[in-house]
Structure 1
Amino acid sequence: MPDAPRTPAPEPERTWIHEFADSALEPRRLASELVGTFLLVVAGAGGGVVDVFSHGQIGRAAAVTAPALTVMAVILFMGKTSGAHLNPVVTLAFCLRKDFPWRRAPAYIVVQLAGAALACLVLLAMFGDTGSLGATTPGPGAGDLQAAVMEALLTFGLVSTILGTASGAQNVGAIAAIAVGGYIALAGLWSSPVSGASMNPARSFGPDLVRWDFSSYWVYVAGPLLGMLVAVGFAYVLRGPGGADPMAMAAAQGVYVPRPPNDTGQVTRSG
């Protein structure tokens, strides 16, 4: 009697792990980081530019709140695609936590810098070299070292907020966007007169590149890097080593983790 035809084995279900490893998805992730950082810097640098252009009609409070609200919106509308890092130190923090692959970090950082530069080119075309294109520099009476320490302190809080809301242990779901945006606004409201409250080497890179003035740029690299390293160490103290929390990996890499049946919890988003 002839053997019955064998039913082919079903293809394995595509999971978020496969998406992490799928290099074909990288162009859309990089496009998301480019556009997201562009929008962040248009708001962050543009607030100062338009304030000068309009002879002070915006004010400092609005200028520092605008990028915070932009980050909140960007996390919500494209965070699922790329993780919405928008900041080289956020990318490096996720890598150090083993929630994001190192091999993807260089491209992320390059497009973040490119998005920031493109934003400042647009501002230059619209307004000329008004308001120094929103460049972040130490404020009146503040030295470079004082501004660098301020940037380290602010970035420690920012990265701690991002890593914490990305973690399953502190899962707050989509409200993570509000937490991150709220922190950025808070930091700017009380500290921008000292350092500009950049907390982001890409945001500071854009105006400096277009104006070709890097005299204080080290402040906005060294300070955020130091703050990020302290925040990663603090995350280790709070939650142990990274790389084992599926929710944190999903938040960092841009894919929601599928919930088990009957699980009504939300998956964290982070920027």
Structure 2
Amino acid sequence: MADDHRLHRLETADLEIGATEAVQRHISRHVVATKPVSQAKLDFEHRRPRWLREMAAEATGVFFYVYPGIAATASFILNKEDAAFGSLLQVGFAYAIGIAFAIITCASTSGGHFNPAITVCFAVWQGFPWRKVPYYIFAQIFGAFMAGLMLMGQYHEQLAAYSAATVAAGEGNVFNGGAASVLCTFPGATQNNLGFLFLIEWFVDSYIGIIIWSALDPANPFVGPTTAPFVIGLAYAAMIWGFADISISTNLARDLGTRLVAAIFYGGEAFSYKNYSWISILINVPATLFATAYYEMLMRDSLQKIGKGHATHEHGEEGLALHLTKSGIPMEKGTTNVVEHM
């Protein structure tokens, strides 16, 4: 009988006795109900301007993305002699996780653009209202600017000491590895070919743009809503790990917002150094437009998107049925079942 009892326990799906006792106690606890939503709160939220909510979400999202990234960069640059305090691996993960947190926290309010290039691409390809583009971009730049100011306040003593040391050594503040490079990108001492820097930024931004557009494609079976923030974040991290040592920007708002802070604290050379700033600020938009055009024209499967219920034909079911008839795709039960035949 004892052997039969042990065998029976092995065949069940019950949790065995042990640390699982805590699970049983937690399950039996009563959770206090939250207080009811007041009418005053509902009235306030109803009166709150939508444009203000969206701008606040975009600014907050960019802050959440830039703040940990430049903080990790500061730790890396200020502690060159002690690798325990930072590395490019740490910087890449800081940006990646920051982007994921930004999307998780703010995307449900504003759509989660956090990049002027992405905002423009949504307006071009997905019907995002053009009238919203200017204030989205302003909010994104403002979020990066506030992240830069916050960092300068928190790292003031360390940056002041580091700045004094580099100035005394005759290097100044504005160079790759200087105090200003904590905030924004500058070319290295041997990087004087602007065409080379242009191509690096173009291909890095295009790479990131294609991954973003793919991750946001509702017909993509490999990326779900819960994984998309981390996929997008890791795309940025991969480019940082591969190309940060030869200068990349990846985001107009991130670069311009923090570069303005660098100019306030370290002078106008933050914009004039090696005539590089126009590349770091401006290339992101056309490169991302190129990337999304590549995806839209060569890789997008709109029929599958319609079939999965994420879009409709502009002429309704009749227009879709006509297209399927012309294309020779069989229809069963309904036109939305077409994906099953692909």
Q: TM-score range by the shorter chain?
A: 0.7 to 0.9
Matched, 1:127 2:144: no
On the 8 A contact 2:183/2:262 being kept in 1, the answer is: no
2:271 is paired with a residue of what secondary structure? coil
Cα deviation, 1:102-153, whole Å, max 9, x if unaligned, reads 1111100001111111111111122235631332122343333322211111
Q: Which runs of 5+ in 2 are unaligned?
A: 1-46, 163-178, 264-269, 312-342
On the 8 A contact 1:166/1:247 being kept in 2, the answer is: no
The letter for the 1-side match of 2:190 is G
Partner of 1:207: 258
Q: What is the alpha-carbon root mean square deviation over aligned residues?
A: 2.5
| Structure having the higher Rg | 2
Determine the C-alpha separation between the residues in 1 that align with 2:243 and 2:125.
28
The farther-off stretch of 162-171 and 88-97 is 162-171
Determine the C-alpha separation between the residues in 2 that align with 1:154 and 1:205.
18
Quickly say closer, same or farther: Cα 1:117–1:194, change in 2 above 3 A. same
Matched, 1:178 2:234: no
Matched, 1:35 2:60: yes
Cα deviation, 1:148-197, whole Å, max 9, x if unaligned, reads 211111111111112222222225222111210111111110111111x3
Partner of 1:230: 290
Matched, 1:59 2:87: yes
On the 8 A contact 1:162/1:180 being kept in 2, the answer is: yes
Deviation at 1:99, TM superposition (A): 3.4
Q: TM-score, normalised by structure 1?
A: 0.75
Deviation at 1:64, TM superposition (A): 2.1
On the 8 A contact 2:63/2:144 being kept in 1, the answer is: yes
On the 8 A contact 1:140/1:194 being kept in 2, the answer is: no
Determine the C-alpha separation between the residues in 1 that align with 2:57 and 2:244.
27
Q: Which runs of 5+ in 1 are unaligned?
A: 1-21, 249-271
On the 8 A contact 1:201/1:221 being kept in 2, the answer is: yes
Matched, 1:158 2:215: no
Cα deviation, 1:182-231, whole Å, max 9, x if unaligned, reads 11111110111111x32101111123211222122201133212311211
Partner of 2:123: 95
Larger RCO (CA under 8 A, 6+ residues apart): 1
The farther-off stretch of 198-207 and 217-226 is 217-226
Q: Give aligned-pair identity as a percent.
A: 25
Cα deviation, 1:16-60, whole Å, max 9, x if unaligned, reads xxxxxx994222121111111112111222222122334442112
- Size of the aligned set, in residue pairs, is 225
Quickly say closer, same or farther: Cα 1:50–1:247, change in 2 above 3 A. farther
1:100 is paired with a residue of what secondary structure? coil
Determine the C-alpha separation between the residues in 2 that align with 1:231 and 1:178.
20
Quickly say closer, same or farther: Cα 1:145–1:178, change in 2 above 3 A. same
The letter for the 2-side match of 1:83 is G
Deviation at 1:240, TM superposition (A): 7.2
TM alignment of 1:236-255, pairs within 5 A: 236-237=296-297, 238-239=299-300, 247=310
The letter for the 2-side match of 1:200 is N
On the 8 A contact 2:148/2:257 being kept in 1, the answer is: yes
Q: TM-score, normalised by structure 2?
A: 0.60
Determine the C-alpha separation between the residues in 1 that align with 2:296 and 2:147.
35
On the 8 A contact 1:91/1:109 being kept in 2, the answer is: yes
